[in-house]
A and B are shown apart, each in its own frame.
Chain A
Amino acid sequence: MARSWLTFGFGVLLLASPLRLVWARPGAWAGAVFVAWAGLVVAGLWLSKERRG
């Protein structure tokens, strides 16, 4: 459960602020956001296995 909250918090930080620095450079944003998004999908995969042996 703590792992889930941590990942969520990290996701909010990742998406809400530091990415703006990347977006400041035209053209880089789309890739960065979609990569971050894919990263969160993988995090979800990791979380969904949290309760398996």
Chain B
Amino acid sequence: MLLLAFTLGWLSLLFALARLADSRPSWQRLSEHPLVYAMSLGVYASSWTFFGAVGFARTQGVSFIAVSLGPTLACLLIPAVFLPLLRLVRRHQLATTADLFAFRYRSQALGVAVTVAMLLGVLPYLAVQVRAVATTAVALVPGLDPHVVGFSFCAVMLVFATLFGARHATTRERHPGLVMAIAFESAFKTLALLAVGVVAFQLDVTPTPARVEAFLEPARTGGFTSVLLLSVGATFLLPRQFHMAFTEAPEGERGERALRRATWAFPLLLLVMNLPIPLVLWAGEALAPQADGDLYVLLVAEKVPWLAPVVWLGGVSASSAMVIVASLALSSMSLTHLVLPWRRADDPDVYGTLVRQRRVVVGLLLLATFVVFLALDHTGGAQARGGALAQVGLVSFAAVLQLVPGLVGVLFLPRLSSAGVLAGLVAGLVTWGLLLALPVIGLSGVALPGWLTGHDALGVSALVSLTLNVLAALVGSSLAPSSAVELRAAQLCRDEVDSLSPGRLPASLEGFVDRVARVLGRAAARVEVERVTTELQLSRDETGAAALQRVAERLEANLTGLLGPVLSHAALTTEGDEVPGQLVPLATRLQLLEEEARRGGSAAAEALRAWLSNVFASLPVGVCVVSPQGDAVWWNDAWTTLAGAPKPEALRQLPSVGELVVGARTLSVTSAEVTGEGPLPGGRVLVVEDLTTRRALERTMAHQERLASIGRLGAGVAHEIGNPLAGLLMVAQNLAAEEHPVDLRERLGDIVEQGRRIDDIVKALVTFARGEQQGGRQPRLVFLDAVVRDAVSLVSMTKHRRIEAQLEEGLAVQGVAGELIQVLVNLLSNAVAASPADSVVTVTARRLASEVELVVSDQGEGMSAEVQARLFEPFFTTKDPGQGTGLGMSIVYSLVTAHHGHLAVDSAPGQGTRITLRFPAP
């Protein structure tokens, strides 16, 4: 009971510290200190290091050091691998390794696979933390039931995990309190271990040479190297390490600084933590040769009355920190990749649901941890072989190792595909399960033959699983290569690495000016580079790679605000290639030039002046600046073209506002006062604009409008004529049917025939007008014979030429009847107008394989090549002024195109014209 109260008190202290860091800005700043960050990475040292390192050293000898030397090696890779990774996960808000893989390989399945792999790999590791707490509690207070202790620990962890981290919906939320608490417990457990080391030192035990010999054995047989390499992989890829190193890293530049500082600070922390281990081992072996090595730390601590509870708390801190961070990280993964894909989209309280689900997932994880703890206890498993904590830990590392090929793909191999990585992960995991996981939890797995493993079964098994993983990844990637989407994501990831590559940076500051000049121009480039060198307090002839790298980073940051990230990155990293000019906003360039000119840059001022005068020269209106005395002082080319060279007397005659006719041109004139600026006096600016085209356009519009109103009138009249005409025809037909003399019957027949002709014309007019009035195009099946008949009737009204129609029966196209009639009316009108009085205009239509062909041909004057070239231009006409608008053929062209058809012209002067239209068959 006392132990429980003591433990709860300690955890509450940690929690109070966390609350303080969450709420007080000054504490929050402290949590972002690089050293606090490095200390928080000490969550790596779980109870495995705290209690287990000595037990591991007892059974595996010198290999215990490899577990902490691995992170030291991994930290050497921070600048090359983990800084780019930090930027990547920051930029794309990736909270876990599963997010990272799903993002890079664009595969939800891979996210699920990574989550499952991490759950399988880390759950037993969590369970041994619980067991470490239970075993040490029983050692301290004999008679306690380890299962009750284990369950209580899991329950307390659930409460604290919820309080610490599972309070937010998003996994990207930083928890300064958590970072502070973890850093504090890291410091505490290090001090506790050092204290035990001091006690062990005072016991003054010297190991026998035979013991030392046995201790060194793993270094000779290879066990040391495999543990070393396993822990390199685990340093940043274990879920809890990834969480502390990347998800909880301070924002922005501070995060990168902290990670860089960890390159040495984290290894130093581990070094200090490991210094007492050999001393404690020798002392423990002398004190209790038969006891479990995992309990030696506690055993030695008991030599000093107050130290044992402190060491117990150190162990509880190590375990609880690991359990809390790992369960937060695993819950993020599980929530994102296993739970959320099945969420309901219509949830009104998304954030609340997410927080609740997160808590449920943490609860389930801890429950599963407890179940695995019971299972481990039941089967005996690793316990039988001693060094239990380390055994399970290393198997866990081997599971995490399976992520390494995928991580290499994220940063360095864009060609590695999602299918390949998934295949590799599955192959590696299955091998891992059979060779490593099953034996360690006490079930019979598959054992490799003895000649293969030698003394280092674990290392060789891990290597075999990794080799199969890599092979499957390579084969899978070549059989199922990356999709375009995947390659784009891969490129995004590659860019983070490239941005750090000094090989792609120029050799001097002048080189930066050259590169930036491609985007900003030389003057502005020089200003930007100089600003950065001043900010960084560098000399102008700096050539050191490190300094240039810093210049590149600062320049990229400065330019990003100006040009956006893509362009600023391209400007600094690509060499030689011209940066596409259209990417640089003109406004940005102008703004830069103006700033530069304002600061007195003559080159910038000249560039601005040249640009402005170019703008004036290109104006489509004539501009002339007149001095107060009436002299023209400046004018553009358009002025000379429109109004001739500006002479003072001509300028004086110009109205200040109005219209003016010069030759065939109509010009509008406007003017405005110009105020004086500095040494330059004011004056007047005159603007002339050519109205000729506009006036012609207005006339054509008016003509069109007149024609349209006549059309509407015609349609109205036709409609009104229709009814009396039907009556007349009926009377005439009835009369014609009666008995009459031959002469009278013939005349009645003529009346009926002419009446029907009028009826045809009236109907065609109505159809045509209806098409125009309906406006909206509703394509339907249109029979060509009706279209041709209506068009011929309309054209025959105005000019009497013979129009012969030869149509195959039943031809139809998909379209709008009114528009098709208009096409034919326009074509026939032109044909008729161009034909001599006695000639024949023919319309033929036939079906081709998948098209319907309509041909209008005449025997008229034909067209020259020049006329044909401009045939479809709006307002182009060969008719006399007032006779045609020049719009007919352009309307034909646009209507035929709107019907998905195409048209061909075959004509020569004196040879007649043949216009062929083809429409898709319905």
Q: Scan B206-236; emit 1 where CB is below 8 A from any A CB, else 0.
A: 0001001101100110001100110000000
A2 / chain B contacts, CB cutoff of 8 Å: 80, 502-503
Best-buried of A2, A3, A19, A50 by chain B (most CB within 10 Å): A50
Cα distance A45–B69 in the bound complex, in angstroms: 16
Pick from B76, B224, B503: contact of A43, CB below 8 A: B76
B407 / chain A contacts, CB cutoff of 8 Å: none
Q: B17 at interface (Cβ–Cβ under 8 A)?
A: no
Q: B264 at interface (Cβ–Cβ under 8 A)?
A: yes
Whether B275 pairs with A34 at a CB distance below 8 angstroms is yes
Whether A11 pairs with B216 at a CB distance below 8 angstroms is no
Given contacts A48-B260, A48-B263, A51-B79, contact A40 B72 (CB under 8 A): yes
Cα distance A47–B423 in the bound complex, in angstroms: 36
Chain A: minimal CB distance from B898 (Å): 60
Q: Tell me which residues from 1 to 53 in chain A have a Cβ below 8 Å from any Cβ of chain B.
A: 1-5, 7-8, 11-12, 15-17, 19-20, 23-24, 26-27, 29-30, 33-34, 37-38, 40-45, 47-53
Q: B78 at interface (Cβ–Cβ under 8 A)?
A: yes
B75 / chain A contacts, CB cutoff of 8 Å: 44
Q: Which residue of B lies closest to A39 (CB)?
A: B72
Whether A1 pairs with B271 at a CB distance below 8 angstroms is no
Pick from B66, B263, B502, B503: contact of A47, CB below 8 A: B263
Cα distance A12–B536 in the bound complex, in angstroms: 35
Given contacts A40-B267, A45-B264, A51-B260, contact A30 B278 (CB under 8 A): yes
B213 / chain A contacts, CB cutoff of 8 Å: 26
Whether B77 pairs with A15 at a CB distance below 8 angstroms is no
Chain A: minimal CB distance from B264 (Å): 3
Cα distance A3–B263 in the bound complex, in angstroms: 13
Whether B80 pairs with A5 at a CB distance below 8 angstroms is yes
Whether A8 pairs with B77 at a CB distance below 8 angstroms is yes
Whether A7 pairs with B547 at a CB distance below 8 angstroms is no
Q: B446 at interface (Cβ–Cβ under 8 A)?
A: no
Given contacts A11-B72, A12-B73, contact A19 B219 (CB under 8 A): yes
Whether B264 pairs with A27 at a CB distance below 8 angstroms is no
Whether A52 pairs with B69 at a CB distance below 8 angstroms is no
Q: B775 at interface (Cβ–Cβ under 8 A)?
A: no
A11 / chain B contacts, CB cutoff of 8 Å: 72-73, 76
Q: Tell me which residues from 248 to 294 in chain B have a Cβ below 8 Å from any Cβ of chain A.
A: 260-261, 263-264, 267-268, 271, 275, 278
Pick from B220, B264, B497: contact of A42, CB below 8 A: B264
Cα distance A40–B268 in the bound complex, in angstroms: 9
Whether A15 pairs with B73 at a CB distance below 8 angstroms is yes
A37 / chain B contacts, CB cutoff of 8 Å: 65, 69, 72, 267, 271
Whether A40 pairs with B76 at a CB distance below 8 angstroms is yes
Cα distance A2–B81 in the bound complex, in angstroms: 11
Cα distance A27–B207 in the bound complex, in angstroms: 9
Pick from A24, A29, A40: contact of B73, CB below 8 A: A40
Q: Which residue of A lies closest to B538 (CB)?
A: A53
Q: Scan B61-90; emit 1 where CB is below 8 A from any A CB, else 0.
A: 010011001001101111111000000000
Q: B704 at interface (Cβ–Cβ under 8 A)?
A: no
Cα distance A6–B592 in the bound complex, in angstroms: 43
Q: Which residue of A lies closest to B220 (CB)?
A: A20
A5 / chain B contacts, CB cutoff of 8 Å: 77, 80
Cα distance A7–B522 in the bound complex, in angstroms: 39
Q: B544 at interface (Cβ–Cβ under 8 A)?
A: yes
Residues of chain B at interface, number, CB under 8 A: 48
Pick from B76, B216, B224, B538: contact of A8, CB below 8 A: B76
Q: Which residue of A lies closest to B208 (CB)?
A: A26
B219 / chain A contacts, CB cutoff of 8 Å: 19-20, 23, 29
Whether A4 pairs with B77 at a CB distance below 8 angstroms is yes
Chain B: minimal CB distance from A31 (Å): 11
Whether B264 pairs with A52 at a CB distance below 8 angstroms is no
B215 / chain A contacts, CB cutoff of 8 Å: 29
Cα distance A46–B212 in the bound complex, in angstroms: 34
Given contacts A8-B76, A29-B62, contact A34 B271 (CB under 8 A): yes
Best-buried of B72, B212, B224 by chain A (most CB within 10 Å): B72
Q: Which residue of B lies closest to A42 (CB)?
A: B264
Q: Tell me which residues from 483 to 525 in chain B have a Cβ below 8 Å from any Cβ of chain A.
A: 497, 500-503
Whether A8 pairs with B73 at a CB distance below 8 angstroms is yes
Cα distance A43–B78 in the bound complex, in angstroms: 12
Pick from B80, B228, B264: contact of A44, CB below 8 A: B264
Cα distance A3–B546 in the bound complex, in angstroms: 11
Cα distance A3–B196 in the bound complex, in angstroms: 38
Whether A53 pairs with B228 at a CB distance below 8 angstroms is no
Cα distance A15–B71 in the bound complex, in angstroms: 13
Cα distance A25–B62 in the bound complex, in angstroms: 14
Cα distance A50–B213 in the bound complex, in angstroms: 40
Q: B540 at interface (Cβ–Cβ under 8 A)?
A: no
A3 / chain B contacts, CB cutoff of 8 Å: 79
Pick from B72, B80, B209: contact of A4, CB below 8 A: B80
Whether A53 pairs with B544 at a CB distance below 8 angstroms is yes
Given contacts A41-B268, A44-B76, contact A26 B212 (CB under 8 A): yes
Cα distance A48–B546 in the bound complex, in angstroms: 11
Q: Scan B32-69; emit 1 where CB is below 8 A from any A CB, else 0.
A: 00000000000000000000000000000010011001
B268 / chain A contacts, CB cutoff of 8 Å: 41
Q: Which residue of A lies closest to B82 (CB)?
A: A4
Chain A: minimal CB distance from B253 (Å): 12
Q: Which residue of A lies closest to B232 (CB)?
A: A12
Whether B78 pairs with A47 at a CB distance below 8 angstroms is yes
Pick from B69, B264, B542: contact of A15, CB below 8 A: B69
Whether B546 pairs with A27 at a CB distance below 8 angstroms is no
Pick from B502, B538, B542: contact of A1, CB below 8 A: B502
Q: B780 at interface (Cβ–Cβ under 8 A)?
A: no
B228 / chain A contacts, CB cutoff of 8 Å: 12, 15-16
Chain A: minimal CB distance from B808 (Å): 76
A53 / chain B contacts, CB cutoff of 8 Å: 536-538, 542, 544, 546-547, 550
Best-buried of A34, A45, A53 by chain B (most CB within 10 Å): A53
Best-buried of A17, A20, A26, A48 by chain B (most CB within 10 Å): A48
Pick from A29, A41, A52: contact of B267, CB below 8 A: A41
Chain A: minimal CB distance from B528 (Å): 18
Whether A45 pairs with B263 at a CB distance below 8 angstroms is yes
Cα distance A37–B274 in the bound complex, in angstroms: 11
Chain A: minimal CB distance from B455 (Å): 14
Cα distance A23–B536 in the bound complex, in angstroms: 47
Which residues of B come within 8 Å of A, CB atoms? Answer: 62, 65-66, 69, 72-73, 75-81, 209, 212-213, 215-216, 219-220, 224-225, 228-229, 260-261, 263-264, 267-268, 271, 275, 278, 497, 500-503, 536-538, 542, 544, 546-547, 549-550, 553
Q: Which 4 A-B pairs have the closest CB atoms?
A: A44-B264, A4-B80, A44-B263, A48-B263
Other A-B pairs beyond A16-B228, A44-B264, 16, CB < 8 Å: A4-B77, A4-B79, A16-B225, A16-B229, A23-B219, A26-B212, A37-B69, A38-B271, A40-B267, A41-B267, A42-B264, A43-B264, A44-B76, A45-B263, A47-B76, A48-B260
| 26 A–B contacts from the bound complex (CB under 8 Å) | A1-B497, A4-B80, A5-B77, A7-B76, A8-B80, A11-B73, A11-B76, A12-B228, A15-B66, A15-B69, A20-B219, A23-B220, A26-B213, A26-B216, A29-B212, A33-B62, A37-B65, A37-B267, A40-B76, A41-B264, A41-B268, A43-B76, A49-B546, A51-B549, A52-B550, A53-B550
